[in-house]
């Protein structure tokens, strides 16, 4: 099977596995349509339609797999992540996405959501493309080697005396109210629970 892959230089390459070795050939083309024609000439009868599908073609196939193997909440996250990715990066052939596209996605998505959310979506998208790789829809996962965004450390927060009293007042069982101060102090590893007012 051969695929066409867009390289960072803007040229599509035809890639095929021949006798167990991956062989790359430049098509010299800058559009997927031209590249497909050249790829047929470079690797006769090895280019299959399944490797040339668009992102929107693969998403429903993946969602069937996800619904059978993953929790419903995880499926929703995958559905959202792929939707945002397609909105920002376009509905291209699966083989057309490059690491440059992934970096662009991170930049654009960061304007809309937090770095934590961007990292979560990138993890899910990496897994999504990994399934495409395993199913031989693509030759490379464009997320391979991509670095996640650095998350600045958050300062710990502490209860005020008033907040702690409200917490105790909201607990209906006496035994739990008695255990709460001990539990909180142990969970904080001896760090001050109350902040001064």
pTM (predicted TM-score): 0.56
Query: The tokens 């979506």 sit on which residue?
Result: 121
Evaluate whether residue 173 is within a structural domain.
yes
22: β partners: 17
| 69/59 same-domain check | yes
| 126/59 same-domain check | yes
Alpha helices in the chain (DSSP H): 32-42, 55-69, 72-89, 99-110, 115-134, 161-169, 174-187
- Least reliable range by pLDDT among 28-32, 35-39, 121-125, 131-135: 35-39
The residue-averaged pLDDT of 127-155 equals: 86
Q: Which pLDDT value is given to residue 135?
A: 83
167/146 Cα distance (integer angstroms): 43
| 36/107 same-domain check | no
Evaluate whether residue 36 is within a structural domain.
yes
| 44/58 same-domain check | no
Evaluate whether residue 90 is within a structural domain.
yes
57-108 per-position pLDDT tens digit? 889 888 888 888 889 999 999 999 999 999 999 999 888 899 999 999 999 9
Q: Which pLDDT value is given to residue 136?
A: 80
40/147 Cα distance (integer angstroms): 35
Evaluate whether residue 119 is within a structural domain.
yes
Q: Which pLDDT value is given to residue 52?
A: 52
60/168 Cα distance (integer angstroms): 49
The residue-averaged pLDDT of 32-39 equals: 78
Evaluate whether residue 75 is within a structural domain.
yes
| 75/35 same-domain check | no
| 164/191 same-domain check | yes
Q: Which pLDDT value is given to residue 32?
A: 78
| 61/126 same-domain check | yes
Evaluate whether residue 115 is within a structural domain.
yes
User: Has residue 46 got a pLDDT over 80?
Assistant: no
Radius of gyration of the chain (CA): 25
Q: Which pLDDT value is given to residue 97?
A: 93
Give 111's contacts (C-beta < 8 A, 6+ positions apart): none
Q: Which pLDDT value is given to residue 44?
A: 66
Domain enclosing residue 79, as ranges: 53-134
Q: Which pLDDT value is given to residue 54?
A: 87
Q: Which pLDDT value is given to residue 185?
A: 66
Q: Which pLDDT value is given to residue 186?
A: 63
| 170/123 same-domain check | no
| 62/30 same-domain check | no
| 81/121 same-domain check | yes
| 68/89 same-domain check | yes
| 123/165 same-domain check | no
Q: What is the CATH number of the domain that holds 127?
A: 1.10.150
Mean pLDDT, the chain, rounded, equals 81
Q: How many domains does the chain have?
A: 3
- Least reliable range by pLDDT among 112-116, 148-152, 186-190, 192-196: 192-196
């Amino acid at each position: 099977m051969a695929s066409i892959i867009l390289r960072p230089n803007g040229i599509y390459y035809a890639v095929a596995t021949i006798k167990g070795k991956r062989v790359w050939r430049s098509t010299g083309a800058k559009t997927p349509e031209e590249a497909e024609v050249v790829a047929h000439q470079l690797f006769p009868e090895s280019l299959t339609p399944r490797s040339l599908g668009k992102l929107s073609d693969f998403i429903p196939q993946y969602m069937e797999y996800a619904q059978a193997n993953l929790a419903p909440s995880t499926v929703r996250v995958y559905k959202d992540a792929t939707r945002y990715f397609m909105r920002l990066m376009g509905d291209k052939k699966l083989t057309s996405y490059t690491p440059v596209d992934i970096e662009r996605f991170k930049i654009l998505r960061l304007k809309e959501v937090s770095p934590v959310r961007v990292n979560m979506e990138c993890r899910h998208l990496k897994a999504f493309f990994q399934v495409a790789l395993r199913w031989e829809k693509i030759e490379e996962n464009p997320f391979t080697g991509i670095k996640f965004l650095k998350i600045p450390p958050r300062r710990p927060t502490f209860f005020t005396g008033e907040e702690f009293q409200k917490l105790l007042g909201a607990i209906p069982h006496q035994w739990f109210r008695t255990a709460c101060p001990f539990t909180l102090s142990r969970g904080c590893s001896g760090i001050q629970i109350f902040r001064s007012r």
